[in-house]
A and B are shown apart, each in its own frame.
Chain A
Amino acid sequence: MDTVVLLTCTGLGLGALYFLVASGLSLIFGLMDVLNFAHGALLSVGAYATWWAGTEGGMGFWLAVVFGTAVGTVAAVLLELVLIRPLYNRPRDQILATVGVGLAVPALLMGIWGADSRPFPQPAALSGTVGLFGAIVPVNRFVLLAAAALVLVALRLFLSRTRYGLVVRAGVEDRAMVTALGIDVRKAFTLVFAIGGAAAALGGALSGLYFGSVHPGQGTSLLIFAFVVVVMGGMGSVTGAAVASVAVGLVQQFANYYTAAGLGDLSVVVLLAVLLLVRPRGLTGRLA
């Protein structure tokens, strides 16, 4: 029983991490048709900025997380304005440009801080464990879950209650029609990149908490599972991404524990392939 509880909590924590990466990825793809290969790099930037602020910057943990998220947001906005915007009429080149950034940024981080994992500052309040149904669960799992829930609620509110959210939702549904109605969707592009970058950078900051360390390839290794989540959840759907990330996180944890190690990762990527073949439009069946 306690093993099951621990695995569930860990799986949910991992799912929360996936959600933070996938929510932005999903919105960006849904709105702009750009598969953002640089999203993992944004996560790494957030993780390193938080780590830097927490150790060399001398900030407290929460301030460091805010700092890391802000740096990631700025990086995402810069990426959109400088690299994606001039390529609006060349869709494939947009993907290629993000591939280039996805290669260059982790390499730059590696150049500055080395290829080895750096231990992440753990605040005393979050490094402990709590007993839950007889299982001893690290507190940071719940921090991740809370952050993901917060982001989910905030995104839902933003999308359903604000005018910009309306434009984004309409743009995901039919971009040409929104443009025809005289609304400049391109402003929403930058906004969506900023939101996605903020969520990914927050994910990066908290992934340091989850894994206990940061390394340059952290974002890239999470990115593929985030793709799985995005496809499963239906591209452009935030709620779908939330459901899918929980499913993926749980399947991965349980399969890795109860069968051979690595089989969980394998089963998830095979799941992606099978799903795309059976339902090319994703689970929620909205967009291809």
Chain B
Amino acid sequence: MSTDTSTTSTGSAADGKSAPGRADRAIPRTGESITERSTLIYRALRWWPIALLILFLVAPYSALPLPGLLDGPLGSPGSLQLIALCLVYGALATGYDLLLGRTGLLSFGHALYFATGLYATDLAMLELQLPFAAAALFGIGCSISLALLLGSVSLRVTGIGFSMVTLAFAQAGSILVQRNPGGVTGGEEGRAAPVEMLPDSLVGIENTANLYWIALGYLVLTLAVVQWTVSSPTGRIWEGIKENERRVEVLGLRPYGFKLVAFVIAGGLAGAGGVVYLLLTGGATPQAATSDATLALLVMVVLGGSGTRWGPLLGGVLYTWAGHRLGDLANSSAIADLPAVLRVPLSQPLFLLGALFVAVVYLLPGGLAKLPARIRAGRSKTDTVGVPGPAHSLEGGTT
């Protein structure tokens, strides 16, 4: 687990997390003016997301080779495509966490709203001949309306009943897409996006950088929306609902409306993710609507750490990257030479991810995002001197 984060730290949010750890280890050694220096470092470190964003923005101009992490150099279309996919899934997981980690709603049907955005945009271009921008708005609108409709219905039941109703609706959507009603959805094969309806700057392998920037923009938008809503008064009530729904009711508030707002916002974000995904992969396939897609989002959120700011993003990026790289690993000669006992499990990415998921649930309750805090807590327990004061405020800043 920990080796994973250290190897990917160049490309993900993890390096911002390891930096505070290094800083507070350096503090006792420097001696004088500890507090001034550490506040300076602390202030500088607070800007790490901006620095990371700038790094990501200029990544297409770089030809830095990252052997092991990526197949080609950083700026090559293949690498950009993979990073963009990672970012989209990171954003989707962040949006899903609005339900799971922020409001405490275990929805098993989130893929439905993602698939709605994906298919509605694609079909609006194919069948209604709408230009891309209008089709994208139409797709997101469809996702929001569907989330409003189905959310208002499924939120009437609570607890595990809610999970099952959302699962049932998503399954209905998945069956509908696969059965190909009227030849519209294309059944098992899906429908490719019409190239002639898309703007020229979004088509072709030489324009991958544009798609990458769109994916990055979508991620920033999702993070901003989640951050803004969670810190709003509504967000505080979500937190209350997550902790103790009955108590929120006793305070004279109706949780239903607040939960519906979270559901619709998450649905809209997922729909927007569907639009970006359509651009990235050039088509809509029924796999996007299956319950496996929702379970993948769940794995991402839990892996990264639900209810934290960066955890779902980290989980989504890691899961997607691992899914792609493990697929390559499975076909590599290093694996093919192993004895069957090792080769068979290692050649199945889903097995590795499932096992990893169980391990995270077990050994890392709170996910990867809680890992630095846990390590620090473990160290302060063994260390007789204890953790210096500012470390606590650092911990508050990172999680």
Task: Spell out A's residues near B (CB within 8 Å).
Answer: 29, 33, 35, 83, 86-87, 90, 92-93, 95-97, 99-108, 110-112, 224, 227-228, 231, 260-262, 265-266, 269-270, 272-273, 276-277, 280, 288
CB contact under 8 A between A93 and B164, given known A107-B354, A266-B175, A266-B176: no
15 A–B contacts from the bound complex (CB under 8 Å): A35-B163, A95-B106, A100-B358, A102-B295, A104-B351, A108-B348, A108-B351, A111-B348, A231-B164, A260-B179, A266-B175, A270-B168, A273-B172, A276-B164, A276-B165
Task: Spell out B's residues near A (CB within 8 Å).
Answer: 106, 153-154, 156-157, 159-161, 163-165, 167-169, 171-172, 175-176, 178-179, 291-292, 295, 298-299, 302, 344-345, 347-351, 353-355, 357-358, 361-362, 365
**Chain A facing B: main interface SS:** helix
**Nearest CB on A from B54, distance (A):** 36
A270 and B174 CA atoms in complex are apart in Å by: 12
Task: Given contact pairs A90-B365, A112-B344, enumerate 8 new A-B contacts (beta carbons under 8 Å).
Answer: A29-B160, A95-B106, A96-B361, A103-B351, A104-B351, A104-B355, A107-B354, A265-B175
A106 and B350 CA atoms in complex are apart in Å by: 9
5 closest pairs, A vs B, by CB? Answer: A104-B354, A103-B354, A107-B350, A262-B179, A100-B358
Taking a contact as CB atoms under 8 Å apart, the answer to whether B161 and A97 are in contact is no
CB contact under 8 A between A111 and B179, given known A273-B165, A277-B153: no
A118 and B139 CA atoms in complex are apart in Å by: 41
Taking a contact as CB atoms under 8 Å apart, the answer to whether B175 and A104 are in contact is no
CB contact under 8 A between A92 and B353, given known A108-B345, A108-B348, A270-B168: no
Contact pick for A96, options B160, B175, B357, CB 8 Å:
B357
**Nearest CB on A from B46, distance (A):** 32
Taking a contact as CB atoms under 8 Å apart, the answer to whether A228 and B168 are in contact is yes
A40 and B345 CA atoms in complex are apart in Å by: 19
CB contact under 8 A between A83 and B358, given known A272-B164, A288-B161: yes
CB contacts (< 8 Å) of A228 on chain B: these are: 168
CB contacts (< 8 Å) of A110 on chain B: these are: 348, 350
Contact pick for A97, options B156, B160, B353, B362, CB 8 Å:
B362
**Nearest CB on A from B349, distance (A):** 8
**Nearest CB on B from A96, distance (A):** 5
CB contacts (< 8 Å) of B291 on chain A: these are: 224
Taking a contact as CB atoms under 8 Å apart, the answer to whether B175 and A262 are in contact is yes
CB contact under 8 A between A107 and B348, given known A86-B362, A100-B355: yes
Contact pick for B168, options A261, A269, A280, CB 8 Å:
A269
CB contacts (< 8 Å) of A29 on chain B: these are: 160
Q: Which residue of B lies closest to A98 (CB)?
A: B358
CB contact under 8 A between A100 and B345, given known A265-B175, A269-B175, A273-B154: no
CB contact under 8 A between A277 and B157, given known A93-B365, A103-B295: yes
**Nearest CB on B from A44, distance (A):** 13
Taking a contact as CB atoms under 8 Å apart, the answer to whether B351 and A100 are in contact is no
**Nearest CB on B from A261, distance (A):** 7
CB contacts (< 8 Å) of B163 on chain A: these are: 35
Of B353, B357, B365, chain A has the most CB atoms within 10 Å of the CB of B357
